[in-house]
Chains A and B, each alone.
Chain A
């Protein structure tokens, strides 16, 4: 079984400020972890993923995330927020099984203030 908890359904930051979106997971097997972004009425776009290897992963649009096994966390960060970053962000975990289904967190709505 696997699950994802995203702390904070809404996060507001000022333009140029640090973005930190929190994600904790549980998985009975070594997880694959993903962050997706969703703009209104659109599908999901992959920001970054962790599978194996380096625990700090860099994604698109200046985002990065660090896999911390001891903390079962995969928080998403960006040093300087841009207005275009305003969107819904989903953390997801893929566990075992041949299908490797994704389990999504509840999402975090990021607002960027001018």
Chain B
């Protein structure tokens, strides 16, 4: 089956620094990837839709200058949290859509736990 990886699985950074999270589709080419944020005991909130070779589409209320998304290849999308603050601490999950699947199913990565101190 389709596999999506994320790196790192967890990261601790100091307030004011930036951190990059990678999302890779390992055995398929993903023209579209999605980034979600999940707070403890809550559901997934879509942050942005990332299309290979074009600018990401951000959901309302998500700061595009703070959460930089790059989808430079068909197998890699990155999320950079710039000038991180403690309120950015969260569980970030990416997913990738396999265009070869007729149902447009999304395959999810294992998530990245970000803690900003």
Interface residues of A (CB under 8 A from B): 32, 34, 36, 41-46, 49, 51, 90, 94, 99-107
Contacts and interface: CB of A to CB of B under 8 A. Distances in A.
Contacts of B105: 34, 46, 49
Interface stretch (B63-71, B72-80, B82-90, B109-117): B109-117
B42 A43 contact: no
B62 to A, nearest CB: 13
A31 to B, nearest CB: 11
Looking at A32, A43, A106, the one whose CB has the most chain B CB atoms below 10 A away is: A43
Nearest to A102: B106
Contacts of A51: 102-103
Closest 3 CB pairs of A and B: A43-B108, A44-B108, A100-B104
A36 B91 CA distance: 17
Given A32-B103, A101-B49, A106-B43, A42 B34 contact: no
B110 A42 contact: yes
Contact of A43 (B43, B102, B104, B109): B109
A32 B106 CA distance: 12
B98 to A, nearest CB: 12
Contact of B32 (A99, A103, A104): A99
Given A99-B49, A101-B34, A49 B103 contact: yes
B111 A104 contact: no
A90 B113 contact: no
A104 B44 contact: yes
A67 B47 CA distance: 28
Given A100-B97, A105-B43, A45 B108 contact: yes
A105 B49 CA distance: 19
